[in-house]
Structure 1
Amino acid sequence: MSQPQTPPAPPAALADAVTRVLPGARTDLESLVRIPSIWADPAHAEDTRRSADAVAELARAAGAESVQVLSAADGAPAVVAHWPAPPGTPTVMLYAHHDVQPTGGDENWTSAPFEPTERDGRLYGRGAADDKAGVMTHLAAIRAYDGKPPVGVTLFIEGEEESGSPTLTALLAEHHELLAADVIVIADAGNPSVDVPALTTTLRGLVDVVVEVSMLKSPVHSGVYGGPVGDALTALCRTLASLHDDKGEVAVPGLTTAVSDAPDFEESTFRSDVGLLDGVELIGTGTIPERITHKPAIAVLGIDAPRVEESSNVLLPRARAMVSMRLAPGEDAKTAQRALCEHLEAHVPWGAHVTTSSGAGIAEPFSLEATGPVYDAARQAFSSAYGSSAVEMGIGGSIPFIAEFARTFPGAAVLVTGVGDPASRWHGIDESLHLGMFGKGVLGEALLLQRLAE
């Protein structure tokens, strides 16, 4: 059997240029991480504006011919910067986002979430990986060319991706000509490991449903009436328990599932990366990549009920929960959402009244065929930068705007890359960026711009 060929080494001059700009890129990344740009929290709206202004200033310093901070309706500020295309070369849009998730409780972090801290070769902080690393990957690649990239570049840094990009459609429509590109590089995904680059070709979709169970007109004493009279919270728990079978497989009928040819993960490494407690079992069936990327998954995100400290001996008249479902590629989001509602309504016990309604989150699954010269150039560039062959992979998360870009610019090739890895803990406690992989990602993107120019 033939052995895989070692990718060719990147040009020495470009590798040296990337090495030269990395220290400054890291310093600027740390400065961005210090800004708590949580657009989803109104208390941090001004911080998000500060973040956009900081990115705009970095783009100007990197030689952009024009820089604008834009928004649509009441949307978050986005940054659009432009480097003109040399004659005969394409224009490449480099996308990332500067807004970040809430911290999940600052007290739960090993180090302060908005004070970047290095430990064991990783930079910890909210947004260090998702997605301010993407912002700085783009800017560092441009700096490696001394602000004169070999292709036209439109840098587009969004400010509300973590809120579902609610005004992106309007922003793309309003500034269509400004954002038009031949190639779109989206740096908001990850790699299977710090040494193996990936092109993301599938993304799961997402739907949310709010389910409310009612049993009484008002609270009543649990000692006087408990026994023949049930309570809404217990009924809700039984309803939610019906969403999975005993193996942890999603029990909602009629949903799309698929298989993946991606190599399985080493379970012990996966458990460590996730932070599973000793003895906690994985749920579902199939390989871990299949369960993450090609099968539906359901989680209960929140329940409206009294806090334990505030509870009393009464039977609760009503309770409600937010149920989130990830969708396999090929699924229709609206159809899946109806199936989830119908399942919940059919499994409420004891004649309890139930209502279901759509939550705020909905995103169609996405898949693409990574064929053609642009994708070949990307594989060559990232394989050379990482020293190992690039792979195609799916990710379990949902990135609704990717489909929006594909619809708005149907002639553009869409590349989904990133500098996260399984240990990055996007959206979680102790989010981090592997600094060695960050350097490889910058080199890969710089090589990609060179190959696209050719």
Structure 2
Amino acid sequence: MSDLVQRVRDVLPSVRADLEDLVRIQSVWADPQRRDEVTRSADAVAKLLSEAGFSDVRIVSEGGAPAVIAHHPAPEGAPTVLLYAHHDVQPEGDPAAWDSSPFEPTERGGRLYGRGTADDKAGIATHLAAFRAHGGTPPVGVTVFVEGEEESGSPSLSRLLTAHQDALAADVIVIADSDNWSTDTPSLTVSLRGLADCVVEVSTLDHGLHSGMWGGVVPDALMVLVRLLASLHDDDGNVAVAGLHEATAADVDYTPERVRADTGVLDGVDEIGSGAVAQRLWAKPAITVIGIDTTPIAKASNTLIPSARAKVSMRVAPGGDAGEHLAALTRHLEQHAPWGARVTVTPGDVGQPYAIDATGPVYDAAREAFLQAWGQDAVDTGVGGSIPFIAAFAAAFPDAKILVTGVEDPDTQAHSVNESLHLGVLERAATAEALLLAKLGVLAKLGSDGQIPT
């Protein structure tokens, strides 16, 4: 095992160079003008996996973005491990808000800055490093699945899993797309909130009216929309929609000081909601207004606005059903519009939450690998965000053990400007994964017929 740790260090320079080349590809699937870049990214990932020694590498698409599947067969009697990452990235936003070019990887203070350096092209780098450290001959079968539209909600994932179920079948699934407790302490993610969103439109008039002539008599739509959106929370900031599920979070100490350090909340701005931070962040529903369509200030006139709309995003606690929660949100919006305003709710994306029973020999092996690679025990954490495809994986492969790991840390700023990867975290994450593959090979030898004991 100590030799394996050194071999990870030996391959990291080449892995980092490959990661930087991937970051330079603007693989934003959400931008139709850059769909060719996503294709170029898939080609680059496939080339890297072929050069690493995978004998069967294919680029697949089921009506969506190109994904890459690479397979290295298991030695006789050994299990297969599926390693997941995604090669698409979020839009970069305003490039002027970045301290360096978003698609030119730049190192500062031990961190590599650029869009996708962490989320999730570093996941690809982690898998490459672990496989290369084993010299291309790990003691278990390895399948790498690199998706191309995760940042757009994975709309074609279910079709990919159905069409390529045999190629993706595995005994253990490692999903490298999550966070760590800190740059010094790893996390094993054991719960994830689900997602449901919708667009709500309110209408009060069939045309705009002069606000001086009719203001104070008939309501404008934006006034109605603001009041309707305000009804989604109580005065303390708790979600006020009836019928939503609440779970129980892992028992960790998340201090107010850490909240401020991790979020950059402005001085004088209070937290919202009640209960422990971990409970609010990982195990309670949350609702956010993520966009509003109305007259922009630059084009504003003294007119009562006849209609306005907003996009509302809801996170669903583990154990809840995202579809039922969307129905509850829809009922609330339809029933709480003031002054009889007309309300139309258009449902959007739905992704189910997931909770993992992280007990048994596979998880014990993972914790041992974390401890050896990081020098610290892994913290069992939840994720406040959503990775809906995990529930899809669990449904497609119900007997597989799922491990949710990652290379992010509280300063990564995924989805924001100045996204970055801590290079020390990359080394430790790659080392832990390489060790895990070795330990799973040992476990299989202890089981009957090469199966990992449960």
* Displacement after TM superposition at 1:433 (Å): 1.0
CA distance in 1, matches of 2:87, 2:71: 17
Is the 1:94–1:155 contact (alpha carbons within 8 Å) kept by the matching residues of 2?
Answer: yes
Counterpart for residue 168 of structure 2 = 179
Counterpart of 1:419 in structure 2: which amino acid? V
- Is 1:437 aligned to 2:431, yes or no? no
Counterpart of 1:100 in structure 2: which amino acid? V
Counterpart for residue 13 of structure 2 = 23
* Displacement after TM superposition at 1:266 (Å): 3.0
* Displacement after TM superposition at 1:330 (Å): 1.0
* Displacement after TM superposition at 1:424 (Å): 1.2
CA distance in 1, matches of 2:430, 2:93: 29
Is the 2:250–2:380 contact (alpha carbons within 8 Å) kept by the matching residues of 1?
Answer: no
CA distance in 1, matches of 2:267, 2:113: 24
Identity %: 58
Name the SS of the counterpart of 1:350 in structure 2: helix
Counterpart of 1:351 in structure 2: which amino acid? G
CA distance in 2, matches of 1:411, 1:342: 37
CA distance in 1, matches of 2:290, 2:376: 38
Counterpart for residue 63 of structure 1 = 53
Counterpart for residue 321 of structure 1 = 310
CA distance in 2, matches of 1:81, 1:260: 36
Q: What TM-score do you get using the length of structure 1 for normalisation?
A: 0.95
CA distance in 2, matches of 1:263, 1:91: 33
CA distance in 2, matches of 1:409, 1:336: 25
Alignment match of 2:31 (pick from 41, 56, 63): 41
Is the 2:262–2:411 contact (alpha carbons within 8 Å) kept by the matching residues of 1?
Answer: yes
CA distance in 2, matches of 1:357, 1:170: 24
- 1:149-192 superposed Cα distances (whole Å, 9 cap, x missing partner): 22111111010111111111111111111111111111011111
Counterpart for residue 259 of structure 1 = 248
Is the 1:59–1:139 contact (alpha carbons within 8 Å) kept by the matching residues of 2?
Answer: yes
* Displacement after TM superposition at 1:383 (Å): 1.4
Counterpart for residue 81 of structure 2 = 92
Name the SS of the counterpart of 1:301 in structure 2: strand
Which stretch shows the higher mean deviation, 259-268 or 213-222?
Answer: 259-268
Q: Over aligned residue pairs, what C-alpha RMSD do you find? A: 1.1
Alignment match of 1:383 (pick from 371, 382, 389): 371
CA distance in 2, matches of 1:402, 1:332: 14
Counterparts of 1:406-421 in structure 2 under 5 Å?
406-421=394-409
- 1:338-369 superposed Cα distances (whole Å, 9 cap, x missing partner): 1111111222111111111202x211110111
Aligned length: 442
Counterpart of 1:86 in structure 2: which amino acid? P
* Displacement after TM superposition at 1:127 (Å): 0.8
Is the 1:274–1:425 contact (alpha carbons within 8 Å) kept by the matching residues of 2?
Answer: no
CA distance in 2, matches of 1:315, 1:431: 41
Which stretch shows the higher mean deviation, 433-442 or 339-348?
Answer: 339-348
**Runs of at least 4 residues off by over 6 Å:** none
CA distance in 2, matches of 1:439, 1:270: 26
* Displacement after TM superposition at 1:268 (Å): 2.3
Q: What TM-score do you get using the length of structure 2 for normalisation?
A: 0.95
Counterparts of 1:269-284 in structure 2 under 5 Å?
269-284=258-273
CA distance in 2, matches of 1:171, 1:110: 38
Please list every run of 5 or more consecutive structure 2 residues that lacks an aligned counterpart in the other structure. Answer: 443-454
CA distance in 2, matches of 1:306, 1:147: 58
Alignment match of 1:13 (pick from 3, 27, 52): 3
Alignment match of 2:202 (pick from 210, 213, 217): 213
Is the 1:210–1:356 contact (alpha carbons within 8 Å) kept by the matching residues of 2?
Answer: yes
Counterpart for residue 399 of structure 1 = 387
Counterparts of 1:227-266 in structure 2 under 5 Å?
227-266=216-255
Name the SS of the counterpart of 1:331 in structure 2: coil
Name the SS of the counterpart of 1:212 in structure 2: strand
Counterpart of 2:71 in structure 1: which amino acid? H
- 1:223-281 superposed Cα distances (whole Å, 9 cap, x missing partner): 11111122001110011011111111111112111332332223223312212122111
Is the 2:250–2:382 contact (alpha carbons within 8 Å) kept by the matching residues of 1?
Answer: no
Counterpart for residue 448 of structure 2 = none
CA distance in 1, matches of 2:429, 2:153: 25
Name the SS of the counterpart of 2:247 in structure 1: coil
Name the SS of the counterpart of 2:338 in structure 1: coil
Please list every run of 5 or more consecutive structure 1 residues that lacks an aligned counterpart in the other structure. Answer: 1-10
* Displacement after TM superposition at 1:405 (Å): 1.0
Name the SS of the counterpart of 1:156 in structure 2: strand
CA distance in 2, matches of 1:266, 1:193: 14
Name the SS of the counterpart of 1:374 in structure 2: helix
- Is 1:52 aligned to 2:42, yes or no? yes
- Is 1:290 aligned to 2:295, yes or no? no
Is the 1:172–1:408 contact (alpha carbons within 8 Å) kept by the matching residues of 2?
Answer: yes
Alignment match of 1:307 (pick from 290, 296, 315): 296
CA distance in 2, matches of 1:39, 1:275: 29
Is the 1:40–1:163 contact (alpha carbons within 8 Å) kept by the matching residues of 2?
Answer: yes
Counterparts of 1:158-197 in structure 2 under 5 Å?
158-197=147-186
